[in-house]
Structure 1
Amino acid sequence: MSATSLADEFDVSEDAIRRDLRALAAEGKCRRVYGGAVPLLASARPMALRVSEGSVRKSQLAQAAAKTIKPGELVFLDSGSTNLAMVDCLAPELGLTVATNSLDIAAALARREDIELILIGGAFNRHVGGSVDASAIAAVSLLNIDRCFIGACAVSGATGINVHDHADAIFKRAVLQNSATCSVLATSEKFQERAPYRIATPSQIETLFVESDLPANEAEKLTQAGFNLVRAAPASTTN
């Protein structure tokens, strides 16, 4: 919507409309663009607004993914609300070192005395919920990551793993290049969305963790594209 058309519709000044659009953008309800604003897709909203949504579904994915981690590994948890759910699923006896660029994930890991924490720093990106700038990329390039869990905004068999933020995409590709294996935890709505920046093809992802009720036709398309799917346990059987 343009500020001019909104001002005409509500019979107020364009300055008033621009002020309201700035307030709505600050609340994560739209994105300001030149001359107006555009709506946000669910996965394009700031991470702080996504953390509490679908917590049960994200926990189920996190539990399935945590079972693949081996003792003594250096694990990278990319910024994302589903990856945040993994912190509570990491077994204390594994003796893990976990690196992350996410402030929320780092804060949760800091309370775990059984896990060594590496915080990847740099300028904080509020939309992403972590650091994805050149400093963060340089820090990641010095790590030999055994297993990374990359965040995704959109997933498809045709385009692979995709995100909305350009800097975030560059950072994620750097993490992928410095990791022995890479997995993605994807809630079902991400298979219906599109994002402009590609991170990885299906062949670059070791495991795509999906929800238990992902439709069979969608799962078949993803498998045919080359994804290795692992379904999370349904809520009734998740401990």
Structure 2
Amino acid sequence: MLKAERHHYIMTKLVAEHRVSTIDLAVELCMSEDSIRRDLNKLHEKGLLEKVYGGAVPIAEKNRSVFDIVITNEQKKKEIGYKALSLLHDGQVIIMSGGTTNMVFSKLIPPSLKATIYTYSLPIAMQLSQYPNIDLIFIGGKMQKNAMVTIGMDVLQVLSKIKADICFMGVSSIDVKQGLTEEGYEVSIVKKAMIESSDKVIAMFTADKMNTKKPHVVCDLTMLDTIVTDLGSDDPRLEEYKKSGVFIF
């Protein structure tokens, strides 16, 4: 499909649905997510739409907040979040990665929870700042603007000094043979540091992330304690993951 045709498709969909998702567009147009992001950036530069985290919205509906985040499969991510709530306990030291699954999860945390939570995700930090009983530590560093997470040596130094009880890890791609993988090298390094600093690692993802892979390895499945998905624990798609020894929740 030519660029002009893609742009026309995106704008038509935006008018009809008032919001478009980078992931959904990539699937519908059989393009990479990076190509779709470039298309959205070009349309943004022309003033035809407003690029936001995860997609785009019409100019007329632009939210003044920079945290107008497009969340795909939100109901499935809520199902994951509700499952993961049982893993939270008062007094825990928690690390949370970025990603929209963890964003949805953070909104479900009960206000009564008394815990210390570290995160390098700015949107999640802003969400958790509303909880009076959570001791929140935002890990500062170089900002990766497209994902609104911090990266670099400053983040790694902080993580190296943390001893967390549990890490809730958002997942970009997971595969039985390749394990967890990421698109960006710097994010993969930060996630490795998160795993090393945590007693337990909980991987949270929707089923569409399964059996996919990105260029940069985070860890193999043996480094994970628990997988939380929107699938039932007896779903046959999870059989190979169970064989690796990871607990399916």
Per the shorter chain, which TM-score range?
0.7 to 0.9
- Give the distance between the partners of 1:119 and 1:76, measured in 2 at CA: 10
In structure 2, the residue matched to 1:158 is 177
Give 2:32's match in structure 1, choosing from 27, 39, 43.
39
Q: 1:47 to 1:121 in 2, by over 3 A?
A: farther
Q: Quote the residue 1:198 is aligned against.
A: 217
- SS of structure 2 residue aligned to 1:199: strand
In structure 2, the gaps of 5 or more residues are: 6-19, 24-30, 39-50, 55-68
Matched residue SS, 1:85: helix
Match of 2:108 in 1: 89
Distance, in Å, in 2 between the alignment partners of 1:91 and 1:187 is 22
Whichever residue aligns with residue 173 of structure 1, its letter is K
Q: Which has the higher contact order (CA 8 A, sep 6+)?
A: 1
Question: TM (normalized to structure 1)?
Answer: 0.75
> Aligned partners of 2:245, 2:176: CA distance in 1, in Å?
8
| Structure 1 residue aligned with 2:205 | 186
CA distance in 2, matches of 1:223, 1:127: 34
Shift of residue 211, structure 1, vs aligned partner: 1.1
Matched ranges for 1:6-45 at <5 A: 39-40=32-33
1:86 is paired with a residue whose SS is helix
Identity of aligned residues (%): 20
Distance 1:71 1:28 in 2: 36
- Write the deviation string for residues 4-32 of structure 1: whole angstroms up to 9, x where unpaired: xx69x99xxxxxxxxxxxxxxxx9969xx
- Counterpart in 2 of 1:128? 147
- Residue in structure 2 matched with residue 73 of structure 1 by the alignment: 92
CA distance in 2, matches of 1:157, 1:226: 11
Q: Cα 1:79–1:65, aligned 2, differ >3 Å: closer, same or farther?
A: same
Give the whole-Å Cα distance in 1 for the aligned partners of 2:205 and 2:22: 23
Give 1:99's aligned residue.
118
Structure 1 residues without counterparts, runs of 5 or longer: 11-26, 31-37, 231-239
Structure 2 vs 1, CA of residues 83 and 47 (structure 1 numbering), >3 Å: closer, same or farther? farther
**1:48 maps onto 2:67 in alignment:** no
Offset of 1:88 from its aligned partner?
A: 2.3
Paired positions, count: 201
RMSD: 2.9
Kindly tell me: are residues 132 and 48 of structure 1, through their superposed partners in 2, closer, same or farther at Cα, counting changes over 3 Å? Answer: same
Of 207, 224, 242 in structure 2, the residue corresponding to residue 223 of structure 1 is 242
Name the aligned partner's letter for residue 186 of structure 1. F
Equivalent runs, 1:130-149 vs 2, <5 Å: 130-149=149-168
TM-score by length of 2: 0.72
Q: Which amino acid aligns with 2:115?
A: L
Paired residue type of 1:40: E
Counterpart Cα distance in 2 of 1:28 and 1:132:
24
* 1:213 CA displacement: 5.2
